[in-house]
Amino acid sequence: MKYVFKSGIDIKEYDDFVKGFPSTSFMQTSSWSKIKSAWQNDFVGMYHEEKLVCAAMILKRPLFLGKKLFYVPRGFVIDYKDRELLKEFTDNIVFYAKKNGAIDLKIDPFICFNEDSIQNIKKNKGIKIHKSFSEDTKIIDENLKSIGFIHGGFEKAVNAYIQPRYTMVIPLRDENGNFYEKEALRRTFPKNTRNYIGNYQEERGVTFSFSKDVNDVKELVKVLNCTEERQHISLRSKAYFENLMRNFPDEAVLFFAKVNIEKYIKFLEKDEANNPDKKEFCLKQKKEALALMKEYGNVITAGATIVMMPTCKTGTKVASFLYAGTNTKVLPSLKITNGLMFYRLCYCLDKECDYCDLGGIDGSLEDHLSTFKSKFNPVVLELVGEYDYIINKPFYSMFNLALKIRKYLMSRR
């Protein structure tokens, strides 16, 4: 079969193809290249009879002595089971990469080796069951290796690779493939999680909302700053989130949880009157609420997140939960994060997403992110991870050595 490879293909043609291809990631759209502004980029594809049949957005990181790293995030956009097409496309990209000084072509497709529910994993002390998030994974892995890709290994640490190899997702379809009713979805959560969702928070003055307005990013950043201070970490800047909203106007969605202090105080007064034995707790909560009102005002943003809705129109549609923050000073007894999680899930359910990706975790399942996300009875995905097609072995070895030294020095801080 005769194929024609092209670089620098038309962006609209490229995006139309990517969004129309089943189960693609937002990280393969041209919009993502604008977010990764520190990298150079190019859009390549292969045609058969003037029809685009596969494509990739390549990020290029300048290294040293004019050399580059070529990285295709969550790509290629291709049928990996078609070995002939995969080999032809890879050979053309490698030839193109050599001419452009690349030492390595790195890919990390969103393909799953193993998956299991968190309940089964805890019961069986490890992932035991392979289900159906990704089909034909073994064939895909064998095809990639047979044409020259080297698998990057099975590290479990959340930062071992560019993208985490383990993640947690919540299915929005039941075992028969039907979308959940919202109450049925809520019932899939453990009792001590679902009891703090719905009427519990509504009657206490907690409300949830979403926004696609870039001006609301400032509210997200305020809450993220609370998380940064609490966990001694550094997340993204206001400019980063504004850039994300502007480049993904249809997909990037902000979610907020707010507390109306006056309504909560009225609830406490009523609760105290009806339950004299709760007087001490209610008085303590009222005192805390009044102090918060003095500091923040009547309506307080207690939680905020940003979600990337699927860019693909067919196949498995995955909503990606990117960044989330909580102001833990604001009435932690209300379990606001539970309600905000469920509100986001319901929004994604309304948009007919198949899964919600809660984000990367450590493969040991012992990190704090795993502990929090486990409250929602998720499915754990062990992804295939990274594959490298080494183009210049001497320079690649030097680059890997430099990375190991850098990681060592970072670990000593």
pLDDT at 149 over 90: yes
**Distance separating alpha carbons of residues 54 and 36, to the nearest angstrom:** 22
β-partners of residue 77 are 55
* Dihedral over alpha carbons 394, 399, 405, 408 (to 10 degrees): -130
pLDDT at 123: 73
- Specify the DSSP element, H or E, that contains 318: strand 318-326
Q: Residue 193's pLDDT band (boundaries 50, 70, 90)?
A: very high
Q: How confident is the model at residue 18 (pLDDT cuts 50, 70, 90)?
A: very high
At 268-316, the pLDDT tens digits run: 999 999 999 999 999 999 999 999 999 999 999 999 999 999 999 999 9
| Residue indicated by tokens 């969004």 | 19
Beta strands 68-72 and 102-107, pairing class: parallel
Q: How confident is the model at residue 129 (pLDDT cuts 50, 70, 90)?
A: low
Question: Residue 407: its pLDDT value, please?
Answer: 67
Confidence of residue 408 (pLDDT cuts 50, 70, 90): low
- pLDDT value at 374 more than 70: yes
Helix (H) or strand (E) holding 246, with range, is helix 238-247
pLDDT at 121: 82
- Give the per-residue pLDDT at 234: 79
Q: What CATH class does 4-108+386-411 carry?
A: alpha beta
pLDDT digits (tens, 9 = 90+) for 82-125: 999 999 999 999 999 999 999 999 999 999 988 888 888 877 76
Token pair, residue 346, equals 């319901």
pLDDT over 70, % of the chain: 96
Q: Which residues, including other chains, have CB under 8 Å from residue 363's CB and lie 6 or more apart? A: 155, 156, 157, 158, 165, 166, 382
Quickly state the pLDDT bin for 412 (edges 50, 70, 90): low
Mean pLDDT is lowest, of 99-103, 198-202, 262-266, 394-398, for 394-398
CA–CA dist 301, 33 (Å, integer): 32
Task: Tokens for 74, please give them.
Answer: 């969550």
pLDDT band at 404 (very low <50, low <70, confident <90, very high): confident
Alpha-carbon torsion, ordered 131, 134, 136, 140, to 10 deg: -140
Return the CATH class of domain 173-353: alpha beta
Model confidence at 320: pLDDT above 80: yes
- Listed by start position, the domains of the chain span 4-108+386-411, 173-353
* pLDDT-based confidence at residue 235 (cuts at 50, 70, 90): confident
Tally of CB atoms within 10 A around 237:
11
Whether residue 346 is predicted with pLDDT greater than 80 in this model: the reply is yes
> Hey, do 4-108+386-411 and 173-353 end up sharing a CATH topology, with the first three levels equal?
yes
CB atoms within 10 A of CB 194: 20
| CA–CA gap between residue 58 and residue 67 (Å, rounded) | 15
> Contact 31/247 with Cβ under 8 angstroms?
yes
Q: What is the mean pLDDT of the chain?
A: 93
Q: Helix 83-99 vs helix 137-146: angle between axes, to the nearest 10 degrees?
A: 40
pLDDT in tens, 163-187: 999 999 999 999 899 999 999 999 9
